[in-house]
Amino acid sequence: MTNKTETATPAVRLEAVYQARTRLQGVALHTPLQPQPHLSEKHGCAVWLKREDLQPVRSYKIRGAYNRMATLTPEQQALGVVCASAGNHAQGVAWACRHLGIKGKIFMPAVTPNQKVGKVRLFGKEQVEVVLIGDTFDDAYHEALTCAKNEGLAFIHPFDDLRVIEGQATIGLEILDDCAGQPPDLLLLPVGGGGLAAGVSSVFRQLHPETTIIGVEPAGAPAMCESLKQGRLVSLPQIDPFVDGAAVRQVGRHTYQICRRTLHEVITVPEGLVCSVILDLYNEEGIVVEPAGALTLAALRLLAPDWQGKKVVCLISGSNNDITRTEEIKERALLYEGLKHYFLISFPQRAGALRDFLNNVLGPDDDITRFEYTKKNNRERGPALVGIELKHPQDYDALIERMERHGISYQTLNDNPMLFEMLV
């Protein structure tokens, strides 16, 4: 990882980025850079949002996909392209196929939600063929590579391709254009495979190196963080796929080499904090984002004390959020904030035991949100799974004190990963 004074020349050429911007005119939007008065007051710094969630495919991926496909040779375009993706990249490729008149095969895991598959077909129309195969992205990825080799099709990588990186880098030009001579003191960029971070940070390093650039990864998939720490490309043995737009086992070879020279730091944020930000953005700002789209604002919550009074730009990368995930997002947010707790409680099998628990243990603002009881006819006690939602995090200690005082036999589940995953 570099420090702020390193001046190594980035691999992304500005001339190529300007050319990419020209190609993208009329295809990708010049998305707004919006001041956020409420968030600025909340965090004590001037917060601006770069709204890539407003793109036609609701993410920045259209930039890199289109730029790569537009620079293929006529022969390659005539043959067609292939890619693998479970989400935003597939939609970007599909959109580019339709607008460039290129046939495309898009490999997606068989478990991909129908909503996402439908959007790819909607954007690509008759130009794309969606192939559902395997249970994971890796399965689809390997099948796509095999198809590209056997059929002579150009493979459109989601991030580890210089033309893709140059397309994403056009975001950096737009931010600087819209800053009216006052570039940000801090720029926060989401990091998945690293294409966006590599491109945008390269532009800033060359045009405004005074800006501090910090990459943000989900805590459950810190592929860039670990690679930078170890000084080599690292493949994570397992990841938490919740922040699906940024959860990769390994970042790109090109993106790693660029980011190690252009990013000042990469930090991770807990998935629960990401969920809290998603809900707050919707409830307070009316902005709908996907988990990856909330990474930078989650990081701002952690970093804001060090950037009081400064200008901060947070890149909102996408808004392709499946509505069926809402309950899980709410649950993860409550757990992170210390407002939701699960217990296994052993109740005496006598009349009034539950009533005693409610009267003696539950606080005035506590709410039971889950209760599953199993009666054991041949035993004196029976187990119950109890979920309790608190009004304030500090109410937890009082709840535990009351259970101890009244001799309640319990076991906490929030810190037991194996049991806990069965509940959320």
Please provide the DSSP assignment of 70-85 as one string: HTS-HHHHHH-EEEE-
Alpha carbons 68 and 85: distance in angstroms, whole number: 16
Residues 182 and 317 in one domain: yes
Distances, alpha carbon 307 to alpha carbons 46, 293, 310, 388, in Å: 9, 21, 5, 36
Q: What SS3 class is residue 265?
A: strand
Q: In DSSP terms, which residues pair with 312 in a beta bridge?
A: 47, 186
Q: Residue 32 is part of which domain span?
A: 14-60+164-331
Residues 92 and 238 in one domain: no
CATH of the domain at 113: 3.40.50.1100
Residue 1 binned pLDDT confidence (cut-offs 50, 70, 90): very low
Least confident among 95-99, 108-112, 355-359, 398-402: 108-112
Looking at the domain assignment, is residue 194 inside a domain?
Answer: yes
Residues 144 and 190 in one domain: no
How high does pLDDT run on average in the chain? 92
22 and 15 in contact (C-beta within 8 Å)? no
Residues 238 and 220 in one domain: yes
pLDDT in tens, 190-246: 999 999 999 999 999 999 999 999 999 999 999 999 999 999 999 999 999 899 889
Residues 170 and 282 in one domain: yes
Higher pLDDT, 8 or 312: 312
Q: Which of 331, 360, 381 is the last residue of a domain?
A: 331
Residues with catalytic roles:
61, 317
Maximum CA pair distance of the chain?
Answer: 80
Domain count, the chain: 3
pLDDT in tens, 34-71: 999 999 999 999 999 999 999 999 999 999 999 999 99
Residues 107 and 251 in one domain: no
Q: Which of 99, 125, 152 is the last residue of a domain?
A: 152
Could you tell me which of 402, 244, 400, 216 has the C-alpha nearest to residue 318?
Answer: 244
pLDDT in tens, 252-297: 999 999 999 999 999 999 999 999 999 999 999 999 999 999 999 9
Distances, alpha carbon 417 to alpha carbons 325, 347, 413, in Å: 20, 24, 8
Could you tell me which of 330, 286, 292 has the C-alpha nearest to residue 193?
Answer: 292
Write the CB contacts of 41 (distance below 8 Å, at least 6 apart in sequence).
none
